C-alpha cells in the first residue's frame, strides 16, 4: 500500500517510531499539505469531549522541522481538540522525515482516515503526484484505487475556484460540479449562482448546461427513452397475447381438421378394400350416400360367388 510506495521513514528504528513524548502545543504547527480545508466544529467539540472523558487514545505524529518547532504529520483534529481543552502539551510520536516525506505521509494519512470532500481528495491526489513524480496509474495502484477513479477525481480541479469552494462548503454537490465541467469560466460562474440561488437539482443543472451548449436535454432524452421502453413493453405484451390467441385458435382448427381427415381416411380405406376384393374375383355391390353428418356406404356380397 502507500507506505511501501512512498518509502516513508524507512531509516527509523522501531524504538524511535513508538516512543511517545510530550510536546508543548504552542510549539506545534499544522501540516501545510493537510488536505482538509474545512473542519467541522461540532465534530471537533465531540472529539474534545471524548478526549476529556477517556484521554487521548492515540498520540499525534510530528516531525521536528526546526529546533523546538514541530509540524503535524498525522492527528490535526486531535491537536485542535486538545487546544479546545486548553491542554499545554500533547502526547506525540516524533518522526525524522524530509519535507517531501512529511507532506506525502500527511496526505496519505488523511486520504485513508478522513472523510474528505471530493475536491479535497482531488487536491490531495494532485499534490501526491507532484511531490513523488507519479503518474495517475502509479498513484492509483499505490492508493488501492482504479485509475479511472483517480482520473475522475482529478477532473474536478478543472473547475474554477468559486465552484471548488462551493463544493468544499457543501453549498453544491460533487455531481453539480461535474455537470459544469464542460462550461467556460463565465458560464461556470453564472450556473453556480443559479444553482445556489434557485436551488437547482442535479438534473435541472444538467438540463440548463445542455441548453447552454446546444446539446440534447437530458431530462427530455430520459423521458423519450422511458416512453420508448414502455411502448416496446406494450408491443411485446400485445404480440405475446396475439400469439397465444393464434396458438389457441390453431389448436382448435387442427383438431377440427383432424376429425374431417380421419373420416375421409376411413372411407378411402374401405373403398380400397372393396377394390382389392373385386380384383380377387369377388362380386359385390356398393351404394354410397353422403349426408350432412356422415359418409354412408352399403356393401352387398352375394353368398354364392
Q: What is the pLDDT of residues 256-276, one digit of tens each?
A: 545 545 677 777 788 887 787
User: What's the pTM value of the predicted model, to 2 decimals?
Assistant: 0.57
Residue 117 and residue 179 share a domain = no
Domain that holds residue 194: 159-235
User: What is the per-residue pLDDT for 9?
Assistant: 46
Residue 144 and residue 14 share a domain = yes
Residue 102 and residue 225 share a domain = no
What gap in Å lies between CA 199 and CA 31, rounded to an integer? Answer: 36
**Is position 60 within any domain?**
yes
Strand pairing partners for 290?
Answer: 295
CATH number at residue 29: 3.90.1530.10
Average pLDDT of the chain is 84
Continuous H helices in 41-143? 41-54, 76-84, 99-113, 118-132, 136-143
User: What is the per-residue pLDDT for 6?
Assistant: 53
Quickly count helices (H) and strands (E) in the chain: 13, 7
**Is position 149 within any domain?**
yes
> Residues 198, 201, 203, CA angle at the centre, nearest 5°?
130
**Is position 180 within any domain?**
yes
What gap in Å lies between CA 105 and CA 124, rounded to an integer? Answer: 11
Main-chain dihedrals φ then ψ at residue 274, nearest 5 degrees = -65, -45
Convert the pLDDT of each residue in 275-295 to its tens digit.
Answer: 877 777 777 788 787 887 787
Residue 228 and residue 119 share a domain = no
C-beta of residue 286 within 8 angstroms of C-beta of residue 272: no
Residue 152 and residue 8 share a domain = yes
* CA end-to-end span of the chain: 111
* Positions of E strands within the chain: 20-24, 28-29, 60-66, 69-74, 89-94, 285-290, 295-300
What gap in Å lies between CA 38 and CA 182, rounded to an integer? Answer: 27
C-beta of residue 173 within 8 angstroms of C-beta of residue 191: no
**Is position 253 within any domain?**
no
Structure-model confidence comparison of residues 287 and 65, the more confident one = 65
Residue 66 and residue 45 share a domain = yes
Give the active site residues: 76
Convert the pLDDT of each residue in 19-39 to its tens digit.
Answer: 889 999 999 998 887 777 777
Residue 113 and residue 95 share a domain = yes
Amino acid at each position: 500500500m502507500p507506505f511501501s510506495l512512498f518509502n516513508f521513514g524507512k531509516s527509523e528504528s522501531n524504538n524511535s517510531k513508538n516512543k511517545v513524548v510530550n510536546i508543548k502545543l504552542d510549539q506545534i504547527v499544522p501540516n501545510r499539505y493537510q488536505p482538509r480545508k474545512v473542519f467541522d466544529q461540532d465534530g471537533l467539540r465531540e472529539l474534545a469531549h471524548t478526549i476529556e472523558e477517556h484521554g487521548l487514545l492515540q498520540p499525534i505524529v510530528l516531525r521536528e522541522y526546526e529546533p523546538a518547532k514541530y509540524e503535524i504529520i498525522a492527528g490535526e483534529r486531535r491537536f485542535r481538540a486538545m487546544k479546545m481543552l486548553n491542554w499545554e502539551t500533547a502526547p506525540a510520536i516524533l518522526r525524522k522525515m524530509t519535507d517531501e516525506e512529511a507532506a506525502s505521509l500527511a496526505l496519505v494519512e488523511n486520504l485513508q482516515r478522513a472523510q474528505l470532500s471530493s475536491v479535497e481528495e482531488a487536491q490531495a491526489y494532485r499534490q501526491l503526484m507532484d511531490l513523488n513524480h507519479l503518474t495517475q496509474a502509479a498513484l492509483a495502484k499505490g492508493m488501492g484505487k482504479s485509475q479511472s477513479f483517480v482520473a475522475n477525481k482529478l477532473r474536478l480541479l478543472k473547475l474554477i475556484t468559486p465552484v471548488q469552494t462551493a463544493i468544499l462548503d457543501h453549498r453544491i454537490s460533487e455531481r453539480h460540479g461535474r455537470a459544469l465541467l464542460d462550461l467556460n469560466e463565465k458560464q461556470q460562474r453564472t450556473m453556480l449562482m443559479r444553482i445556489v440561488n434557485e436551488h437547482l437539482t442535479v438534473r435541472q443543472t444538467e438540463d440548463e448546461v445542455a441548453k447552454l451548449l446546444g446539446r440534447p436535454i437530458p431530462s427530455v432524452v430520459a423521458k423519450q427513452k422511458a416512453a420508448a421502453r414502455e411502448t416496446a413493453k406494450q408491443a411485446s405484451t400485445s404480440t405475446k397475447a396475439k400469439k397465444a390467441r393464434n396458438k389457441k385458435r390453431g389448436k382448435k382448427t387442427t383438431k377440427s381438421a383432424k376429425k374431417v381427415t380421419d373420416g375421409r381416411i376411413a372411407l378411402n380405406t374401405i373403398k380400397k378394400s372393396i377394390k382389392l376384393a373385386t380384383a380377387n374375383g369377388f362380386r359385390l355391390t356398393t351404394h354410397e350416400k353422403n349426408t350432412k353428418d356422415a359418409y354412408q356406404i352399403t356393401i352387398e356380397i352375394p353368398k354364392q360367388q
